[in-house]
Homo-oligomer: A and B are copies of this chain.
Amino acid sequence: MPMRALFPVPHPFRSPSADTGGASPAFLPVGHDHAQCRRDALDKAEEQCRQHGARLTDIRRKVLDILWDDHRPISAYDILHRLNAQSAIDSPHSKPAAPPVVYRALDFLITHGLAHKLTSLNAFIGSAHPGRQHGAQFFICRSCHTVAEVRSARIGQEISAAAAVLGFEVQAPVVEVEGLCPACRPAHSAPCAGHDSACACGQSEP
């Protein structure tokens, strides 16, 4: 169970996201205007915060900006490194920030629906649906590390249904699916056969 490095690979695709009923395309090609993505995200964040009387401070904005460097998740430490690298340039004599700076900013962003934590990676990503904290599912490419944020009503419904049978009250569903995005996927690999139908899986068992 070695945890792969987070960003060693060049990425042919990027991932905005899709707001979908049954699910719709969420992996977009590299060619898209990412500067626009970033600007949109920042603008919406300003808007969000204004509406809720929350303060998008300098640090919080910088962290959000770093999250939007691309559509791939980034670890708290990598955020810290980038933050410090930049501030070393901007103000050469300033002290480097410490981890709590980043975690506090991330807490704020997550609380306000501007970012998500991907628990299976210990990494963070900008929210494709600012303001909506719940009900998203993440599809994570093991090869290029691109993430698609999706909202499948049906997945949510089936989780609710299973919970209902258990008598369980759902508070925070985590759905993070690792696999291969269309670009990294070998031409046409066979779908899962051997396992039972509960297994949404492309792997063979040992």
Stretch at the interface among A35-43, A59-67, A157-165: A157-165
| Interfacial chain B residues near A90, Cβ < 8 Å | none
Give the bracket for the number of chain A residues in contact with chain B: 35 or more
Chain A interface (Cβ < 8 Å from any Cβ of B): 1, 20, 22-27, 52, 103, 106-107, 110-113, 117, 119-120, 131-137, 139, 141-142, 148, 150-163, 165-182, 185, 189, 192, 195-203, 205-206
Question: Which of B151, B153, B176 interacts with A174 by CB under 8 Å?
Answer: B176
What separation, in Å, do the CA atoms of A167 and B26 have in the docked complex?
10
A60 CB to nearest chain B CB (Å):
15
Given contacts A158-B155, A174-B176, A197-B157, contact A107 B150 (CB under 8 A): no
Known: A24-B165, A137-B159. 12 other contacts (CB 8 A): A22-B161, A27-B167, A134-B205, A152-B161, A153-B196, A154-B158, A157-B200, A168-B177, A170-B202, A174-B174, A174-B175, A174-B176
| Interfacial chain B residues near A117, Cβ < 8 Å | 1
A181 and B167 contact, CB distance less than 8 A: yes
Question: Which of B133, B151, B154, B175 interacts with A161 by CB under 8 Å?
Answer: B154
| Interfacial chain B residues near A24, Cβ < 8 Å | 165
Given contacts A119-B120, A201-B173, contact A137 B162 (CB under 8 A): yes
B201 and A152 contact, CB distance less than 8 A: no
A31 CB to nearest chain B CB (Å):
17
The 5 tightest CB contacts between A and B, nearest first, are A135-B199, A167-B182, A23-B162, A135-B198, A151-B198
- Which single residue of chain B is at the shortest CB-CB distance from A103? B1
Interface CB pairs A-B, < 8 A, 25: A1-B117, A23-B162, A26-B166, A52-B206, A111-B206, A113-B205, A132-B205, A135-B200, A135-B201, A139-B168, A152-B161, A152-B162, A153-B196, A153-B197, A153-B198, A155-B158, A155-B159, A155-B198, A158-B158, A160-B200, A171-B178, A171-B203, A173-B175, A173-B201, A174-B175
